[in-house]
């Protein structure tokens, strides 16, 4: 029974990435020390792009798992499949990552059931080895393996929390919304929009984030600005682009929508 091994993840040149703080340094040290990393921060602040960047920078394959309620232990570890009348073991993403010395990225880890994550605990401490009952094999991490997870603390509040016994196995890196000039730089770098309009978008985001009574806070992500910029570069009128790419995804509340449209009208 030979497990199927697959290579996945980014290839090619190191993509453009604008560091926000010391995240590159810390991540590099954790990788060297074999300590798992937790990326904390709001939706759309670039956690996924950062992991893709680090995987290329450290020249490791990247294995991504989008966590959700339904993720079973077998979805991480692997399962037997029946192929051509024979039973063949099929490595799950965790085993593939271990064998390749890859970065295993659990996106939105708090979405997974705590019990499923418990299966990965042996990978997150000094053992770095998982015993797979079904194939009677102890699979140890190849050099370069690193467990990384992302987590949105604000959004999670009151709903899904990471169990302390899982969370404390990680070194934690916080991501925040970038300053306006940094965000302008990101918008130009990612979409090719001219600096003037990029700055207007960044300032619009800054103002929307400040209207605390609107309750939008963390929700005004860089990703929304990138979408708006992309539509503008494609030729859509600026206000129209902001309305459908920024305001529409943020809220259905009539009052919030109107207040946001006013700010859009001021920006462009």
Residues 71 to 90 in contact with a copy of itself, rule: CB under 8 A: 71-73, 75, 80-87, 90
Q: Which residue, 16 or 266, has its beta carbon nearer to a copy of itself?
A: 16
CA atoms of 187 and 190, how far apart (whole Å): 5
Q: Which two tokens stand for residue 35?
A: 């300590």
Would you give the distance in Å from CA 76 to the centre of its chain?
17
Q: Which residue, 83 or 265, has its beta carbon nearer to a copy of itself?
A: 83
From the list 140-148, 164-172, 180-188, 203-211, the region that binds a copy of itself by CB under 8 A is 164-172
For residues 242 and 198, the answer to whether their CB atoms sit within 8 Å is: no
- Regarding 43 and contact with a copy of itself (CB under 8 A), the answer is yes
Residue 16 CB, nearest distance to a copy of itself (Å)?
12
For residues 105 and 149, the answer to whether their CB atoms sit within 8 Å is: yes
SS3 assignment, position 10? coil
Q: Which of residues 90-109 bind a copy of itself (CB under 8 A)?
A: 90, 92-93, 107-108
Q: Which two tokens stand for residue 241?
A: 């682009």
Q: If residue 180 lies in a helix (H) or strand (E), which one and from where to where?
A: helix 180-191
**128 contact partners, CB below 8 Å, separation of at least 6:** 34, 122, 140, 141, 145
Residue 115 CB, nearest distance to a copy of itself (Å)?
3
Residue 139 CB, nearest distance to a copy of itself (Å)?
11
Which residue from 164, 196, 212, 213 is in contact with a copy of itself, where contact means CB under 8 A? Answer: 164
- Regarding 155 and contact with a copy of itself (CB under 8 A), the answer is yes
Q: Which of residues 107-136 bind a copy of itself (CB under 8 A)?
A: 107-108, 111, 113-116, 118-119, 121-122, 125-126, 131, 133-134, 136
* β partners of residue 86: 83
From the list 1-9, 181-189, 207-215, 260-268, the region that binds a copy of itself by CB under 8 A is 1-9
- Regarding 66 and contact with a copy of itself (CB under 8 A), the answer is yes
Q: Which of residues 178-217 bind a copy of itself (CB under 8 A)?
A: none
CA atoms of 19 and 12, how far apart (whole Å): 20
User: Could you give the C-alpha distances from 61 to 8, 72, 101, 157, 226, in angstroms and in order?
Assistant: 7, 23, 8, 32, 27
For residues 14 and 129, the answer to whether their CB atoms sit within 8 Å is: no
Q: Which residue, 106 or 267, has its beta carbon nearer to a copy of itself?
A: 106
Which among 173, 169, 168, 177 is positioned nearest to 38, based on CA atoms? Answer: 173
Q: Which of residues 9-38 bind a copy of itself (CB under 8 A)?
A: 22, 25-26, 29-30, 32-33, 35, 38
- Regarding 236 and contact with a copy of itself (CB under 8 A), the answer is yes
Residues touching a copy of itself: how many (CB under 8 A)? Answer: 88
- Regarding 59 and contact with a copy of itself (CB under 8 A), the answer is no
Q: What is the CA radius of gyration of the chain?
A: 21
């Amino acid at each position: 029974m030979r497990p199927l091994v697959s290579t996945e993840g980014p290839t090619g040149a190191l993509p453009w990435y604008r560091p926000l703080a010391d995240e590159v340094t810390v991540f590099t040290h954790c990788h060297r020390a074999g300590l798992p990393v937790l990326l904390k921060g709001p939706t759309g602040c670039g956690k996924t792009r950062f992991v893709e960047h680090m995987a290329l920078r450290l020249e490791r394959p990247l294995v991504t798992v989008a966590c959700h309620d339904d993720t079973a232990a077998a979805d991480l570890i692997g399962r037997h499949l029946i192929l051509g009348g024979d039973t063949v073991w099929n490595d799950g993403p965790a085993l593939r990552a271990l064998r390749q010395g890859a970065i295993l990225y659990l996106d939105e880890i708090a979405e997974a059931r705590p019990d499923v994550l418990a299966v990965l605990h042996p990978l997150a401490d000094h053992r770095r080895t998982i015993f797979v009952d079904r194939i009677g094999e102890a699979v140890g991490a190849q050099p370069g393996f690193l467990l990384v997870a992302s987590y949105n603390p604000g959004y999670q509040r009151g709903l899904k929390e990471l169990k302390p016994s899982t969370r404390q196995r990680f070194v934690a890196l916080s991501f925040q919304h970038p300053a306006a000039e940094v965000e302008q730089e990101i918008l130009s770098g990612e979409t090719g929009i001219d600096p003037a309009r990029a700055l207007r978008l960044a300032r619009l985001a800054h103002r929307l984030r400040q209207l605390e009574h609107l309750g939008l806070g963390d929700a005004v992500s860089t990703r929304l600005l990138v979408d708006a910029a992309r539509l503008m570069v494609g030729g859509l009128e600026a206000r129209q682009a902001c309305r459908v790419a920024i305001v529409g995804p943020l809220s259905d509340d009539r009052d919030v929508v109107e207040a946001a449209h006013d700010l859009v009208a001021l920006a462009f």
